[in-house]
């Protein structure tokens, strides 16, 4: 296999596209195989901490990302039962001064399009849509991936960025389906003019309560409003009867603050997904194949960092592949060593937030939480977040 044979990347999500861009910056060609008929993203909002800008800055994408994103005035946590403000993370001037980069909210499609356009401008990146990979073979000096329609693609190595239900994770680790947490998520975007609920419109807000939460924020320069409702249920079915879903929703949020109930009334019942994550594991790589993003370390969304970690992975992996000069075993081992503890911490802290912070029942646990956070000031909150928001310290092998 020639030295600069392309690297196969399976999955054209945020992790896969970032990897392709970061490889291209080092002159390394890649071929991105996406199973969907077209490259694209599901149409909902997504949040990013300043840590992703350590990557976007290195890839020269700061201006393009900021043009489609907004910065909230603050990130708030409110008590779902009485509406009391529990935590306020100011994301304005002091946040920028502390973390160097902003906190952003953005339509996932808009961010995806920024990355896609950047990929299309790189000769070194080939984007192949409608290529659902169903099998692969590591031939020792190359890797072949086979698509559902019989096409075969060959590359020097293969990066599996194929998401939480990764085919490659099953082959490398074999730990089965993602681990459901007993909750479902509903997502809705409405024109902001249709928002009736009396809620802050310029902040990211998380209302936490017994077995339920809602996250909301504005999108697309305050023209739209993104609402995610998440609640505990034993009816995981992804398709069901809208009337019973509606009744379940009304029942679940019956004791919630009136503003939450007003938002619940607007929820679209079509997009309903079981919430699941993965256990942290080692051994993300074997031979010329490596897992990246959700395929390696999918977290719950409590810290809003799953895509952030996939994006950090992409730059880190590309730098290490570049530095290892086609010694993929070495590059992949260094990649796992660099990324394991940080991503595992995101997975574990996300679980802790989920079970021991966001969804507490009325009673002493909730009272302790509320009393504890009442003593937090800005400096303390920023210190708590610095391990995450200061970025991953991805090596820069500019000198080659
Ligand atoms: C409700 C919710 C809210 C979230 N909010 C946030 C947030 O605010 N901030 C944040 O950072 N993260 C958030 N996340 C997490 C985030 O969505 C994921 O961590 C992120 O999308 C992972 O990116 P990825 O590129 O690894 O995988 P994915 O985005 O899942 O992309 C995988 C791609 O691979 C393709 N694919 C899959 N199998 C194959 C195959 N066999 N062959 C070819 N292509 C294949 C898929 O079509 C897809 O395009 C949230 C998640 C949920 C569920």
Model confidence at 239, pLDDT cuts 50, 70, 90, reads low
- Radius of gyration of the chain from its Cα atoms, rounded to whole angstroms: 21
Q: How far is the CA of 216 from the centre of ligand 1 (A)?
A: 20
- Residue 224 tokens read as 């739209």
The tens digit of pLDDT for each residue in 33-60 reads 999 999 988 889 999 999 999 999 999 9
Neighbouring residues of 291: CB distance < 8 A, sequence distance ≥ 6: 160, 166, 168, 169, 172, 173, 284, 285
> How many A from CA of 306 to the centre of ligand 1?
8
pLDDT band at 296 (very low <50, low <70, confident <90, very high): very high
Say whether pLDDT at 240 is over 80.
no
In short, whether 144's Cβ falls inside 6 Å of ligand 1 is no
- Pocket lining: 46 vs ligand 1, CB cutoff 6 Å: yes
Tell me what the mean pLDDT of segment 221-237 comes to: 89
- Per-residue pLDDT at 237 exceeds 70: no
Q: How far is the CA of 48 from the centre of ligand 1 (A)?
A: 14
Task: Identify the pLDDT of residue 203.
Answer: 98
Give tens-digit pLDDT for 85-135.
999 999 999 999 999 999 999 999 999 999 999 999 999 999 999 999 999
pLDDT confidence of 400, banded at 50, 70, 90? very low
Q: Yes or no: say if 182 and 31 are a contact pair by the CB < 8 Å rule.
A: no
Pocket test for ligand 1, best of 115, 128, 136, 307 (most atoms within 8 A of CB): 307
Take atom 4 of ligand 1 and give the residue whose Cα is closest.
301
How many angstroms from the chain centroid is the CA of residue 157? 24
Mark 320-352 as b/e (b = at least 16 C-beta within 10 Å): bbbbbebebeebbbbbbebbbebbbbbbebbbe
Decide if pLDDT at 363 tops 90: yes
pTM for the predicted model, two decimal places: 0.97
Whether residue 398 is predicted with pLDDT greater than 70 in this model: the reply is no
Gap from CA of 165 to ligand 1 centroid (Å): 10
């Amino acid at each position: 296999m020639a030295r600069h044979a392309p690297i196969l990347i399976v999955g054209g999500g945020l992790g896969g596209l970032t990897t392709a861009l970061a490889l291209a910056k080092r002159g390394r060609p890649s071929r991105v195989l996406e199973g969907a008929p077209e490259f694209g993203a599901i149409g909902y909002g997504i949040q990013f901490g300043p840590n992703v800008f350590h990557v976007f800055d290195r890839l020269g994408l700061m201006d393009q990302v900021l043009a489609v994103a907004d910065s909230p005035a603050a990130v708030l946590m409110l008590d779902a039962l009485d509406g009391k403000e529990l935590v306020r993370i100011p994301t304005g001037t002091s946040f920028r001064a502390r973390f160097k980069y902003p906190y952003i909210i953005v339509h996932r499609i808009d961010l995806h399009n920024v990355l896609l356009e950047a990929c299309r401008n790189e000769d070194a990146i080939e984007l192949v849509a409608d290529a659902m990979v169903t099998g692969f073979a590591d031939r020792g000096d190359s890797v072949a991936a086979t698509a559902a329609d019989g096409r075969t693609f060959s590359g020097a190595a293969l990066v599996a960025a194929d998401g939480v239900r990764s085919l490659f994770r099953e082959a490398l680790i074999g730990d089965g389906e993602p681990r459901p947490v007993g909750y479902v998520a509903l997502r809705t975007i409405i024109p902001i003019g249709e928002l009736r609920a009396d809620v802050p419109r310029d902040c990211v807000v998380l209302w936490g309560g017994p077995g339920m939460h809602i996250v909301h924020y504005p999108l697309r320069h305050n023209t739209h409003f993104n609402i995610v409702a998440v609640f505990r249920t034993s009816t995981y079915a992804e398709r069901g009867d809208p009337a019973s879903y509606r009744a379940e929703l009304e029942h679940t949020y019956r004791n919630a603050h009136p503003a939450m109930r007003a938002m619940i009334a607007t929820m679209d019942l079509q997009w309903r997904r079981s919430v699941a994550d993965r256990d942290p594991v080692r051994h993300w790589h074997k031979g010329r194949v490596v897992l990246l993003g959700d395929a390696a370390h999918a977290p719950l969304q409590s810290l809003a960092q799953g895509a952030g970690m996939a994006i950090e992975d992409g730059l880190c992996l590309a730098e290490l592949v570049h530095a290892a000069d086609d010694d993929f075993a070495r590059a992949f081992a260094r990649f796992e060593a660099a990324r394991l503890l940080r991503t595992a911490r995101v997975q574990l802290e996300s679980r802790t937030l989920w079970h021991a912070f966001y969804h507490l029942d009325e009673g002493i646990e909730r009272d302790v939480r509320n009393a504890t956070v009442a003593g937090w000031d800005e400096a303390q909150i920023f210190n708590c977040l610095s391990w995450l928001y200061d970025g991953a310290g991805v090596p820069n092998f500019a000198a080659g």
